[in-house]
C-alpha cells in the first residue's frame, strides 16, 4: 500500500470517527483508477453533499462561465482563485468549482493549494498530506510524489505541504513558474485551479496571477469595498475574468427564498 493510500485510509477513519453530517450519502462513486475514496465531511462542499441545492446550482453556473471564458481563445487551463481579504470563501469556492468540473466527463481537474500560509484544501477534503507544493519548491520533490487523487470524479489535489517561512520567495521563484508551466503542458486537457492567499495582504498572489491564464475573484457580501475590489483587480493586471459573489443573504421572511423548496424536492439529501 502506497503512502497516499495509507493517508487516505486514515482520513476515512478520521471522518468516520467525526460523524459526518449530511455529506456522506452524496459521496462520489469510487474512482476507476483504484485509489482510496475520499469522503469529505465538510458541509461547505455543497456540489458534493447537496448537488441540488441553490448554492450547488450557482457553482454549476460558475463552472459554465469558466468553461465559456477559458475556451474562447484556445484552452487556457490555469485559473487562479483569489479574494481581496481573508475569509471571503476562495478555498471553498475553488473546491466546489473543482468538484463541479471534476464531475464533467470532458475535464480532469488539478487543484493546486498555493496558500502556503494557511493551506486548507486538504482539510476540507479530509486528507492528511505530509508533502506538497512547498516540498516540490524547496526540496525538488517530484510533483508526481505529492499529487493526491481525491476519488471525486477526476479531481487531483496538489497539497500545499508543510508550512514554510518564506512563501513569497518560493512562489515568486522560477521553480514555481517552471512547475506551473510543466503542469500546464504535461496535462493539457486539465483544468488547473490555484487556490491563493488573499491578494490585498500578500505579494505571492500577484506572482501567481502573472503565471495563471486568468483569475477569478471571490467577494463576500459586506466584507470588501468596491474600491478594494477595483484596486485588487488592477493589482492583478486586470486579468480578473469574473467575480463570485459569496455569502448572499436572503431575507428569511421573503417568499423568494427557495432553499426549502429545493430541500423538499430532494428528500434523500435532506433526510440523510
- Helices 174-186, 204-211: axis angle to 10 degrees equals 40
55 binds another protein (CB under 8 A): yes
Tell me the residue length of the chain.
272
| DSSP for residue 26 | G
Contacting another protein within 138-197 (CB under 8 A): none
59 binds another protein (CB under 8 A): yes
The residue behind cell 469522503 is: 39
Contacting another protein within 84-103 (CB under 8 A): 89, 93
Q: How many CB atoms lie within 10 A of CB 169?
A: 12
Q: Of 45, 104, 76, 92, which is closest to residue 195 (Cα–Cα)?
A: 92
246 binds another protein (CB under 8 A): yes
CA dihedral 124, 150, 132, 13 (to 10 degrees): 60
**CB under 8 A: which stretch of 33-41, 130-138, 175-183, 236-244 binds another protein?**
236-244
Q: Which of 185, 249, 255, 260 binds another protein (CB under 8 A)?
A: 249
Each as own residue / partner, the long-range contacts of residues 248-255 (CB below 8 Å, 24 or more positions apart, any chain) are 248/221, 249/221
Task: Name which of 34 and 252 has its Cβ closer to another protein.
Answer: 252
Q: Min. distance of Cβ 94 from another protein in angstroms?
A: 12
112 binds another protein (CB under 8 A): no
Q: Min. distance of Cβ 72 from another protein in angstroms?
A: 13
CA distance 246 to 12: 29
List contacts with another protein (CB under 8 A): 21-22, 43-44, 46, 54-55, 58-59, 61-62, 65-66, 89, 93, 216-217, 219-226, 228-230, 233, 240-254, 259
Amino acid at each position: 500500500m502506497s503512502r497516499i493510500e495509507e493517508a487516505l485510509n486514515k482520513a476515512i477513519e478520521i471522518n468516520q470517527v467525526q460523524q459526518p453530517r449530511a455529506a456522506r450519502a452524496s459521496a462520489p462513486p469510487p474512482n476507476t483508477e483504484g485509489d482510496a475514496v475520499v469522503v469529505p465531511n465538510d458541509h461547505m462542499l455543497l456540489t458534493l453533499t447537496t448537488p441540488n441545492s441553490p448554492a450547488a446550482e450557482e457553482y454549476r453556473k460558475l463552472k459554465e462561465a469558466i468553461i465559456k471564458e477559458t475556451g474562447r481563445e484556445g484552452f487556457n487551463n490555469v485559473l487562479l482563485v483569489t479574494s481581496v481579504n481573508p475569509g471571503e470563501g476562495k478555498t471553498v469556492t475553488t473546491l466546489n468549482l473543482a468538484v463541479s468540473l471534476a464531475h464533467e466527463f470532458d475535464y480532469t481537474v488539478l487543484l493546486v493549494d498555493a496558500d502556503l500560509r494557511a493551506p486548507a484544501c486538504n482539510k476540507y477534503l479530509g486528507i492528511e498530506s505530509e508533502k506538497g507544493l512547498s516540498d516540490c519548491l524547496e526540496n525538488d520533490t517530484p510533483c508526481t510524489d505529492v499529487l493526491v487523487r481525491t476519488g471525486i470524479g477526476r479531481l487531483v489535489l496538489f497539497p500545499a505541504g508543510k508550512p514554510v517561512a518564506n512563501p513569497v520567495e518560493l512562489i515568486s521563484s522560477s521553480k514555481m513558474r517552471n512547475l506551473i508551466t510543466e503542469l500546464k503542458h504535461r496535462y493539457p486537457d486539465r483544468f488547473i485551479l490555484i487556490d491563493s492567499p488573499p491578494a490585498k495582504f500578500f505579494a505571492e498572489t500577484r506572482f501567481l496571477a502573472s503565471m495563471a491564464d486568468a483569475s477569478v475573484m471571490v467577494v463576500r457580501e459586506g466584507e470588501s469595498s468596491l474600491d478594494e475590489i477595483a484596486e485588487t483587480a488592477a493589482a492583478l493586471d486586470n486579468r480578473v475574468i469574473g467575480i463570485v459573489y459569496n455569502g448572499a443573504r436572503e431575507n428569511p421572511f421573503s417568499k423568494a427564498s427557495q432553499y426549502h423548496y429545493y430541500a423538499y424536492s430532494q428528500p434523500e439529501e435532506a433526510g440523510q
